[in-house]
A and B are shown apart, each in its own frame.
Chain A
Amino acid sequence: MAEPLLELRNLRKAYGALVVTDDVSLSVRPGELHAIIGPNGAGKTTLIHQISGTLASNSGSVLFGGEDVTQLSMPQRVRRGLARSFQITSILPGFSALENVALAVQARSGSSFRLFGQASQEKALNEPAMECLAQVNLAARAHVPAGLLSHGEKRQLELAIGLATAPRLLLLDEPLAGTGHEESQRVVETLRRLKERLTIVLIEHDMDAVFSLADRVSVLVYGRVIATDTPARIRENPEVRAAYLGEEEMV
């Protein structure tokens, strides 16, 4: 089998006595869409923080593309192709949608210590940024200040920003959170297109979306991975049903 693109080895994170990530080991294969599901408070966001470098782990290691990145900062991991989105929308509200994305392009194209020349006029940054916006159907809103976009559009913008970092793997923390039905359909379609060419780790509460998009699903309960399998087998898994699925209406 191909070497995993992302591998977590015995990751652990505790807040005092509360163990939020409990000995998590997981591998994500190149090209797959790997969903992580679990009840609220299971530790999914914390896990994304640890993988992306937002938060340091207590122990264990994160391997990306075969390299141990455990000690690297978030910016360093991003530069190696590990991008993330946030559960709570995180954008630059005062910048236009285009500039939000162009900044991500700028981060990987040449020095940002240039003190002269108008950054907002640089074609070499704006054109790739426009392409990323087009991929999430936001091109028409490129010049709107990001703070004025609708909630759904902001979620799309986060995706575009992530894409603009030219990632090899995209960590998405509930990209559908808070979007209406129509908007969420649009994001799901976008994800379906992206998974053709990107490896994605998707955290999502919308089970329809998860089961229609995912190649494999891991179930996280109280900080432990209790199962990793194909969507169909996860549905059947008695342990998963007992711990999690049973309570939900999506059986």
Chain B
Amino acid sequence: MTEIAETPSAPMPSLSTRFEIVPIVLFAAFAAAPLLAAYSGAEGYVLSLLTRVMIFGIAAMALDLILGYGALVSFGHAAFLGLGGYAVGILASHGIEDALVQIPVALAASALFALVTGAISLRTKGVYFIMITLAFGQMLYFLATSLAAYGGDDGMTLSSRSLLAGTGVLKNDFTFYWVCLLCLLGAYAFSRSVVASRFGRVLRGTRENSIRMEAIGFQPFRFQLAAYVLSGMLAGLAGCLLANQAEFVSPAFMTWQRSGELIFMVVLGGLGSLHGAVIGAAAFLLLEEFLPEILHSLSFFLSEEARSHLAENWKMVFGPLLILIVLFVRGGIMGLLRRPHHG
């Protein structure tokens, strides 16, 4: 279908069991981080950064479900982040502040949007699919900017985080961190199950050869659409969490750049392993956060002025760096982690 679609990915479950160490270490690191954060002296900052990493991890994993396992390059996935975020924001502004209501509403809205846009987009293939998902994403973006009652261009600030069963436990940053980690683990366990299931096998088969799948009696469209809906719902969940993390929602949640970043995270981490997407999200966000400082200290041999110039314009380095990683590290970061086993 596309370049991305042809890179090797989606190993069969039996093959991937050898690399199980990676997700275990990954999730253990997330579990241990709050304890370490307490000693870092910048606890709030570390927690909030890692919470963001986990939230984008969920969104990237959602994308990996259709991109890595279904070869569907959705360039509009940020729309679901926006749907989740606005579900929280809009409901909260009408006094419905409980996550137990907000999240189901967000999931339903995401599912519905995915069902309608997916049913149309999936009639096309390759570049057309990319463009049409992009167009739907933009459509939602412009809709959000025109919602004057909900802040329009500027978005809206939430008065506080969502309630959980009537309690304010999410207001505590640590509790919120653990809730996000639980969501990440839940989403991961669910996605792992999906890709190994009958359904996932059909999706993977369609990725490899959809004519063959039709010739044994499957209608690929149905499976791709169902996968698209599942993926949209997971990304919608990430949107709910993101709104709570930022205590703010705005159309910026769903710019096309954000959709592009999600694709980048998945490719960076390595397509078709699920935890690779989480690692990709972590690498992307941490690089984005720390690249200025890294550049500053790496360029110790330059004049002070040049160093601060470099640090200020870190994006000039960020882009090419990402491109180099994708070009030269085939299979992304997961590819790097796997390599020693093959050699």
Where the two chains meet, the residues of A that have a C-beta atom closer than 8 Å to any C-beta of B are: 52, 54, 73-75, 78-79, 83-84, 86, 90-96, 99, 103-104, 106-108, 111-120, 122, 161, 164-165
Contacts and interface: CB of A to CB of B under 8 A. Distances in A.
Given A84-B215, A165-B217, A92 B202 contact: no
Given A52-B215, A93-B208, A164-B216, A116 B202 contact: no
B258 interface: no
Contacts of B223: 112-113
Interface string B1-37: 0000000101111100000000000000000000000
Contact of A119 (B10, B197, B217): B197
Contacts of A52: 215
Given A90-B212, A95-B12, A106 B201 contact: yes
Contact of A95 (B8, B205, B214, B219): B205
Given A112-B198, A112-B202, A119-B198, A99 B216 contact: no
B12 A86 contact: no
A103 B219 contact: no
Contact of A79 (B208, B212, B217): B217
A103 B199 contact: no
A112 B200 CA distance: 9
Interface residues of B, number: 32
Contacts of A113: 198-199, 223, 226
A83 B211 CA distance: 13
A119 B190 CA distance: 15
Nearest to A93: B208
Given A91-B209, A95-B208, A96-B12, A120 B216 contact: no
B54 to A, nearest CB: 23
- Prevailing SS type, chain B contact patch: helix
A99 B218 CA distance: 15
Contacts of B209: 90-93
From B12, B198, B204, B205, residue with most partner A Cβ within 10 Å: B198
Interface in B233-288: none
Contacts of A108: 217
Given A90-B209, A90-B211, 13 more contacts: A75-B214, A75-B218, A90-B215, A95-B12, A95-B204, A113-B223, A114-B199, A115-B230, A117-B197, A118-B197, A119-B197, A120-B14, A161-B216
Contacts of A92: 205, 208-209, 212
Contact of B216 (A54, A103, A119): A103
Among all A-B residue pairs, the 5 with the closest Cβ atoms = A78-B217, A107-B217, A104-B216, A119-B201, A119-B198
Nearest to A52: B215
B196 interface: yes
Interface of B: 8, 10-14, 190, 193-194, 196-202, 204-205, 208-209, 211-219, 223, 226, 230
A75 B219 contact: yes
A144 B114 CA distance: 37
A109 B190 CA distance: 24
Nearest to B9: A94
A93 B197 CA distance: 19
Nearest to A101: B216
Nearest to B190: A115
A127 to B, nearest CB: 16
25 contacts: A75-B219, A78-B216, A79-B217, A83-B215, A86-B211, A86-B215, A90-B209, A91-B209, A92-B205, A93-B208, A95-B208, A96-B12, A103-B202, A103-B216, A104-B216, A106-B201, A112-B198, A116-B193, A117-B197, A117-B198, A119-B201, A122-B198, A161-B212, A161-B216, A165-B216
A103 B205 contact: yes
A195 to B, nearest CB: 21
Given A90-B209, A94-B10, A120 B201 contact: yes
Nearest to B213: A103
B216 A107 contact: yes
Contacts of A73: 214, 219
B83 to A, nearest CB: 22
